[in-house]
Amino acid sequence: MKRIAWLSTPLLIIIVCAAALSSAEDQDALHQTKLYRAQAGCLEMSIEQEDGGIRLVSLIDLEDGTELLAAKGAALFELEIYDNEDKKLRVNSEEGWAETTVKVSESGFVLTWKDHVATGLMPFQVLVKALPDHDAKAWEWILETTGPIERIRLEDVVFPQITLNSTAADGGVLYPDGPGALLENLWSENRQKWQRYGGGWASMQFMAAFSSADQKRLFPGFYYAMHDPLGSTKEIVMKTDAAAHTVTLFFEHPIPTEVPATNDFTLPGKAVWGLLEGDWFDAAQRYKGWVKKEARWQPSPEQEGRSDTPLWMRELCVWAQMSGDPDQVVSKVKDFAAFLDIPIGFHWYNWHQIPFDNDYPHYFPAKEGFAEAVRDLQTSNIFVMPYINVRFWDT
């Protein structure tokens, strides 16, 4: 076994946190295993290669020596595949592969898996790269699969998966439900959050986990994101194990339909694992910074938002949502606007006489007093947007 000892002189600590990397090999007669380490700033990652697979074994914040990874966790990737009888099978990164390789350098990790014999997924290859961003103390992940469809077709790729320990997640997880939700008390029960990004209930493709506030550093956290400039469809998932005090995070990517059909897939954008100091706001600012810089859907800076969106809508920073007759909602919304003392938007549900989400798009007639109520709200600097569902013709 070869190991490199980190000398605790101030100069070497700075060098280590900037760009150091090392590797170690650990072999025995029964299992050929190799252990590789590299750093992205002060985020050290250790990967183990053994017969049939590759697995992540450690993720350490070297600033204080904190291990973020759970002792027992999810595989780095899982593949959902179907055979020619349409039977669903699961393959992961840790077992069953005919050949694996690991290369480590100053440019990071390059990992490959070839041919999963037991399932017949062959010829087939998975290529994963983990690229260090030293300034951001982050790892950026890239994945590609290649292979023809013979007996097996690739349906979904779950990547990258990580299971964090209680030290990393005691303070809760920021999950992109709607405008975002901070989920706390994670160990009270097993919990699962599962949203499809690109739909109405997941508007951001990132999560973040936080340590308890009473730790030595201010809310040390873990940033977990897809920096996908095209905003491709993906499932965003968080699962907790209350008994083990662990939380698993992953993205699930559906394979696009290609003609002719193939098992080739390239991860859209990059997945990012990074150290974070702050709270939910700081995590959101990090994602926002990436969106402004790289997201293809983001308007150019000189536009100050989409030119086809009304100026008042672009300038509003607060919206209220209520449902009911004018006498049920108007006074409450006006009180809310008066308390904030700024213009607000009001998304008004059930302003119509027909049953909710029935017989649309025929919404009229409106409830009695609706037009007068809208005029009243507008005089209080409240912009009204009646709820409509224009996607369906329903009965």
Overall average pLDDT of the 315-330 stretch: 96
Predicted local distance difference test score (pLDDT) of residue 260: 81
What distance in Å separates the CA atoms of residue 159 and residue 237, rounded to the nearest whole number?
Answer: 11
Average pLDDT over residues 343-371: 89
Is 4 domain-assigned?
Answer: no
Question: Residue 235 in 3-state DSSP?
Answer: strand
pLDDT value at 259 more than 80: no
pLDDT value for 311: 86
Q: Which domain holds residue 374?
A: 303-386
Q: Is 179 in the same domain as 84?
A: yes
Could you give the CA distance from residue 94 to residue 76 in angstroms, rounded to a whole number? 8
Check whether residue 235 and residue 331 sit in a common domain: no
The residue out of 294, 323, 356 marking a domain boundary is: 294
97 DSSP β-pair partners: 116
Quick one: average pLDDT of 81-101? 96
110 and 259 belong to one structural domain: yes
Specify the pLDDT at position 7: 29
Q: 180 and 223, same structural domain?
A: yes
Residue 11 confidence (pLDDT): 26
Q: What residues does 100 pair with on adjacent strands?
A: 113
Give the β-pairing of 88-92 and 162-164.
unpaired
Q: Does 203 map to a domain?
A: yes
User: Are both 372 and 250 inside the same structural domain?
Assistant: no
DSSP reduced 3-state for 22: strand
Of 94, 99, 106, nearest to 55 (Cα)? 94
**Same domain? 30 vs 135:** yes
Pairing of β 344-349 and β 319-323: parallel
Same domain for 196 and 165? yes
Compare 300 and 369 and report the one with higher pLDDT.
369
Query: Are 170 and 66 members of one domain?
Result: yes
Kindly indicate the confidence band of residue 215, based on its pLDDT and cuts at 50, 70 and 90.
low
Q: What mean pLDDT comes out for the span 105-128?
A: 97
pLDDT tens digits for range 2-20? 333 332 322 223 223 333 4
Please tell me whether residues 322 and 271 are part of one structural domain.
Answer: no
Residues 61-93, buried b or exposed e (16+ Cβ, 10 A)?
bbbeebebbbeebbbbbbbbbbeeeeeebebbb
What pLDDT does residue 389 have? Answer: 78
pLDDT of residue 394: 64
Single-letter code of the amino acid located at 1: M
End residue of a domain, out of 294, 329, 363? 294
Same domain for 56 and 179, yes or no, is yes
Structural domains counted in the chain: 2
Q: What is the pLDDT of residues 371-388, one digit of tens each?
A: 999 999 999 999 999 998
Question: Which pLDDT belongs to residue 354?
Answer: 85
pLDDT, mean over the chain = 88
Would you state the structure tokens that stand for residue 37, as one six-digit string? 């380490």
Q: What is the pLDDT of residue 133?
A: 98
Burial class (CB in 10 A: 0-12, 13-18, 19+), 54: buried
For residue 390, name the pLDDT band (cuts at 50, 70, 90).
low
Q: Which amino acid, residue 187?
A: W
Mark whether 235 and 150 lie in a shared domain. Answer: yes
What band does 250 get if pLDDT is binned at 50, 70 and 90? very high
294, 325, 359 — which closes off a domain? 294
Interatomic CA distance for residues 388 and 395, integer angstroms: 15
Token pair of 164 as six digits: 């964090």
Q: Contact at 8 Å (CB) between 224 and 209?
A: yes
Residue appearing with tokens 């074994």: 57
Residue 81 within any structural domain of the chain: yes
Report the CATH number at residue 134.
2.70.98
Same domain, 276 and 309: no
Q: Is pLDDT at 217 greater than 60 in this prediction?
A: no
Q: Which residues, 6+ apart, have CB-to-CB distance to 334 below 8 Å?
A: 376, 377, 380, 382
Q: Is there a domain that residue 204 lies in? A: yes
Q: Give 22-79 pLDDT, tens digit per residue.
A: 554 444 444 578 999 999 999 999 999 999 999 999 999 999 899 999 999 999 999 9
Using the predicted structure, report yes or no on whether residue 314 has a pLDDT greater than 90: no
Can you give the pTM of this predicted structure?
Answer: 0.79
